[in-house]
Amino acid sequence: MGRPSKLTDAQWSEIQRRLLAGEKQAALAREFSISKAALGERVSKRTETIRSVANDLARAEISLHKLPVSEQFMAVTLAEELKAISGHLAGAARFSAATSHRLAGIANARVQEVDDVNLTDESELTLKSLAVLQRMANDASVIPLNLLAANKALVERNNAPSEDEGGPAQGVLVVPGVIDNPSAWTKLVQSAPQTKE
């Protein structure tokens, strides 16, 4: 663990705000009596991330305003719908994960009831019910696991070099922490277990 900072959080925020406004890192380091390296470690990478996100937002806004007004409305509506879907799917994933955890816990408690030395009809029935509980737990875990996999892929893609640097193209719409590709929603929903009527 490193030494505690001699600057307050408010001072670090001020440095970050001023870096974003275009002030030089060396000048700020001198003013606040810290090394340029310390300043770089603490705020430079975050400042670049903020600047990059701000540029993405500006490009998106410019692109939006190039559309006819009716299409602007459609684009904004679609973006809002995708964000709502993202929130609902994240909630469903949380509930599914909790359900999976609960069912696995019940199965674990029931397995203690099985006499593995003298298997009886009752033990066999318990084992069958355990298999059903475990299958239900596994089915409930599909959406959260797919969501985690999609999020991991998104993080890997966002950490890859940009198209200018020979890497893959970035998504047009990024829903933070979830999925930025509408076709990924379709794949995610299609991969969920289908209930039999």
DSSP string of the chain, one letter each residue: -PPPPSS-HHHHHHHHHHHHTT--HHHHHHHTT--HHHHIIIIIHHHHHHHHHHHHHHHHHHHHHHS-HHHHHHHHHHHHHHHHHHHHHHHHHHHHHHHHHHHHHHHHHHHTT--SSS--HHHHHHHHHHHHHHHHHHHHTHHHHHHHHHHHHHHHHHHSPPGGGTSPPPPSS--TTS---HHHHHHHHHHSPPPP-
pLDDT in tens, 149-174: 877 777 777 666 655 555 444 443 44
Q: What pLDDT was estimated at residue 6?
A: 83
d(CA 79, CA 71): 12
Percent of the chain residues topping a pLDDT of 70: 78
d(CA 8, CA 22): 21
Cα-trace Rg, the chain? 26
pTM for the predicted model, two decimal places: 0.47
Q: What pLDDT was estimated at residue 3?
A: 63
d(CA 10, CA 112): 56
